[in-house]
Structure 1
């Protein structure tokens, strides 16, 4: 196994290691460019590779420094647009109450790249999620995730969803506002009032149409009697 790394600060690192029979065997010291044994059985091999006649480590050094790093830079340039792509997430919080237990859902969607940290907190303290966190792909190349926690009926205040992502300058926080019973009552009253108003308008229209038909029938009857 061998390769090289190009870090964000511009520094580089190379590695070259061999295994045998499922175990590490010898590895390259990238400061002295010599191989060192990882097992007793590898000592003879390491000595032979480090001999002046072979100098295997020096040859590997040339590849890691001369070929490997330039290839990484070239591939990074090819994929620069995709690697630097950033799409901010959309966040929606909702609740669902079943059998007296309230579940809070934090739906985070439309973000890129894939790595994201989503969690629920209550007054600044993390609330563990009872569901595994899975990130799913969208058809447009972005991703989505949903994190759910259970909230006791007597402990509903102070919950918020927190999202960390590479596209954000700072953590995104969305508070969950529990709906009070009074608000629910007013919503029900509003819906009922709307239904009653629609029914009343319909009844008035029906009465007017019925009255016109009755007057028309009476007029036709009078005309026939007169003739």
Structure 2
């Protein structure tokens, strides 16, 4: 499996994800280009990353495709234009000083795919794909501990292939197919020095990177009738406007997390912040106190958890309870009147 570590959830066009069932027809390729990959982490950690992501693939007897993007903190900051054969930076001021793309060119990357696939530019009888992600990342724990990491990793035909050890300036093969390539690349000392310098520059930049956009989530809890079952309510927790991206949300009853919750996943807002929606079905006739428990890195250490309480009792239940209360009261009054009338009659007959 290509992915050996958690990756950031993004809708970039890179195919940097596991290929457990690798099919290379054109439709599958296009679908894979649009899939997200998940990030599993502590929502109270502050994280920043910069990565450049490359993908090239052959489709038998037709074409070679190349796609490359630069992503910083879940936002695309650059993309490679195949028409102009240049990198085009996005107009995002926060990342204007981010390191440019790594020194290897598009033609170099396609040449590696040719070599690994034993194909030529005009002829290839089997589908093949070469992937690369290079960059750096920073994680800061709630206690203030900072960890840095730089990486340059390759995958070939959906499997881990090789990665670069920047400290030793040597390539580490992760696949039997990579041994010959490792020997060749280890001998390219000048290129390895350039990569070492690039990764060091990346870590220096991200260490000093100051992203001033930090917003706490705005949280709402509300209920809607379940369309398929009128005895149920969909209880929904919505958190929006938060940045950084990572967040944890759980709907609870009496401080116990409810099971069978569904989530929209973390989605971008137009202003660059994020939103997430979690929902769960509950009994419409149950009168209880529910809360939405939210954890986010921008909530202060003194108050790391933001809780929003909401009491749910369906209008139908309230109306039914009122009607039943009136009926019971009326029945009691009538019963007492009957008893009083009977007593009155007996007294009259004496």
TM-score by length of 1: 0.58
Residue in structure 2 matched with residue 151 of structure 1 by the alignment:
282
- Equivalent pair of 1:28/1:35 in contact (CA under 8 Å): yes
Give SS of 1:67's match.
helix
Kindly indicate whether residue 311 of structure 2 is the aligned counterpart of residue 177 of structure 1: yes
Give SS of 1:147's match.
strand
Post-superposition offset of 1:155: 4.3
Residues 73/84 of structure 1: CA separation in 2 closer, same or farther (3 Å cut) = farther
Residue in structure 2 matched with residue 209 of structure 1 by the alignment:
none
Q: Which of residues 159, 169, 193 is equivalent to 1:33?
A: 169
Residue in structure 1 matched with residue 246 of structure 2 by the alignment:
115
Q: Which of residues 206, 222, 225 is equivalent to 1:94?
A: 222
- Bigger Cα displacement from structure 2, 156-165 vs 67-76: 67-76
Residues 122/76 of structure 1: CA separation in 2 closer, same or farther (3 Å cut) = same
Post-superposition offset of 1:172: 0.7
Post-superposition offset of 1:44: 4.2
Cα offsets for 1:121-148 (capped at 9, x unmatched): 1222221355442444444333333322
Kindly indicate whether residue 256 of structure 2 is the aligned counterpart of residue 125 of structure 1: yes
Give SS of 2:288's match.
coil
Give SS of 2:195's match.
helix
Q: Give the distance between the partners of 1:24 and 1:100, measured in 2 at CA.
A: 50
Cα offsets for 1:165-189 (capped at 9, x unmatched): 22212111112223598xx67xx9x
Asked which structure has the greater CA Rg, the reply is 1
Count the aligned residue pairs: 176
Which structure 2 residues correspond to residues 191-202 of structure 1 after superposition, within 5 A?
none
Cα offsets for 1:81-104 (capped at 9, x unmatched): xx3311122222222346222222
Give SS of 1:176's match.
strand
Cα offsets for 1:52-109 (capped at 9, x unmatched): xxx32x43442233233324544776x73xx331112222222234622222222222
Cα offsets for 1:32-59 (capped at 9, x unmatched): 4333544445444444554xxxx32x43
TM-score by length of 2: 0.41
Post-superposition offset of 1:2: 5.8
Residue in structure 2 matched with residue 13 of structure 1 by the alignment:
150
Q: Give the distance between the partners of 2:185 and 2:159, measured in 1 at CA.
A: 19
Q: Could you list the runs of 5+ residues in structure 1 that have no partner in the other structure?
A: 189-227
Q: Could you list the runs of 5+ residues in structure 2 that have no partner in the other structure?
A: 1-131, 140-145, 323-350
Q: Give the distance between the partners of 1:171 and 1:141, measured in 2 at CA.
A: 23
Q: Which of residues 160, 164, 180 is equivalent to 2:295?
A: 164
Residue in structure 2 matched with residue 206 of structure 1 by the alignment:
none
Q: Give the distance between the partners of 1:22 and 1:103, measured in 2 at CA.
A: 40
Cα offsets for 1:146-168 (capped at 9, x unmatched): 32211124544242111112221
Kindly indicate whether residue 196 of structure 2 is the aligned counterpart of residue 65 of structure 1: yes
